[in-house]
Amino acid sequence: MKRSHCFFWGILPAAVLIALFFITPAIWGVYTSLTNMALVGKAAKHLQFIGFQNYVRLFRDSAFFTSIINSMWYVVGGAIIGQFLLGLGLALFLEYTESNKIKGGNIVYGFVMLAWITPALVSGFEWGAMYDFYYGTLNNILKLFSLSKINWLGEVPMLSVIIANIWQGTAFTMLVLNSALKTIPFELYESAKIDGSSRWQSIRYITLPLIKNIAIVDLISITIATFGAFLMIMAITSGGPGMKTTTLSLYAYRSAFENYRIGYGCSISMILMIINLVFGLTYLKFLKKLS
């Protein structure tokens, strides 16, 4: 047998599995989104092809637009501002303490990583307890300083889930940017120091430009992750109060599995997929630049 044929057979099992259990569901989703598939009511008994009705209804559904705006807040506040800035700060900070032989960095690193590997449902459970109005740790800390209690999940629900999201996700940016910092040759900083530039100047004019491309790849990664994740929100607020913390992915879940409208839920899934493919293409563009 020719060697190239062997390579074909080597790729085949993976190709079949991906085609059947990854790509087929995606295409099946296009079909389902054009039907009135449901688990309860009249539609459950009479599956019908209804064309683009789900999509038409989607664009008249104010909850759909609310969930898009919520997703935007969640991604901008949680990932782009929160995780990224805190992750960048932590990466620089840990690098600084390490190179100056200041102890304690490992403990910080350990707990940031622990938050990252904690499953989303467990994180949500932990933060739900933190935010509890009467007995929660946060309000008890406020009481300690004689400050008034905050109704975290009632008054500022979006901020609350964003704080939990930053807690969970920051480690990724910290890891990626920290390893990027390690690739910068030390001599660059030395010569900048000799030229009389301050620490902030060398961060601004040496570090940041050199890690720019990796930072963009990182930003797209955390955007994709935060945009798609909904389990932690589900465990903390179930999307409430009302629609206040229902992001687009959570709205898809609620439509399909709480209101049992599978066809309608699928049309939201398709919108999610298109947005993510756009993110993915941008991601690849910058990943190619890196290699």
Partner 1 sequence: MQNKVRLMVIYFIFIIILIYFSLPSLWLFLSVFNVHASPFIEVPRKPTLINFIKIFKDYNFSTYLFNSIFVSSITMILVTLVASLAGYSLSRWDSKYKNTLIYSILLLYAIPISATMIPIYSLMRVLHLRNNYLGLILIYTAGQLPFLIWIIQQFFDTIPSDIEEAAWIDGGSYLRTLFSIVMPIAKPGVAVIAVLSFRAAWSESVLVIVLIDSQNLQTIPRAFFEAVKTMGGSAIEYQYEIVATMGLFFLIPLMIIFLIMNKYFVRGGMLGGAIK
CA 25 to chain centre: 22
Sequence-distant (6+) residues with CB within 8 A of 230 are 247, 249, 250, 253
* Bridge partners (DSSP) listed for residue 49: 35
Q: Count of residues binding partner 1 (CB under 8 A)?
A: 98
Restricting to residues 215-234, which ones interact with partner 1 according to CB under 8 A? 217, 221, 224-225, 227-231
Q: Which of 124, 162, 173, 219 binds partner 1 (CB under 8 A)?
A: 124
Q: Which of 68, 150, 203, 287 binds partner 1 (CB under 8 A)?
A: 287
> Is position 235 an interface residue for partner 1 (rule: CB under 8 A)?
yes
Report the distance separating Cα 28 and Cα 34, nearest Å: 10
Q: Which of 48, 99, 179, 259 binds partner 1 (CB under 8 A)?
A: 179
- Give the pair of three-digit tokens for residue 107: 């403990």
Q: Which is nearer to partner 1, 216 or 243 (CB)?
A: 216
Contact 267, 60 (CB under 8 A): no
CA 192 to chain centre: 37
- Give the pair of three-digit tokens for residue 251: 């709205």
- Written as one letter, the residue type at 140 is N
Report the distance separating Cα 181 and Cα 173, nearest Å: 12
Report the distance separating Cα 230 and Cα 252, nearest Å: 10
- Give the pair of three-digit tokens for residue 209: 């430009």
> Residue 163 CB, nearest distance to partner 1 (Å)?
9
The interface mask with partner 1, positions 71-100, x = CB under 8 A, is: -------------------x--x---x---
Restricting to residues 240-279, which ones interact with partner 1 according to CB under 8 A? 249, 252-253, 256-257, 262, 265-266, 268-270, 272-273, 276-277, 279
> Residue 268 CB, nearest distance to partner 1 (Å)?
8
Q: Which of 150, 214, 240, 259 binds partner 1 (CB under 8 A)?
A: 214
Q: Which of 4, 62, 146, 148 binds partner 1 (CB under 8 A)?
A: 4
Q: Which is nearer to partner 1, 96 or 191 (CB)?
A: 96
Report the distance separating Cα 130 and Cα 207, nearest Å: 37
Stretch that binds partner 1, among 12-20, 73-81, 147-155, 199-207 (CB under 8 A): 12-20
> Is position 40 an interface residue for partner 1 (rule: CB under 8 A)?
no
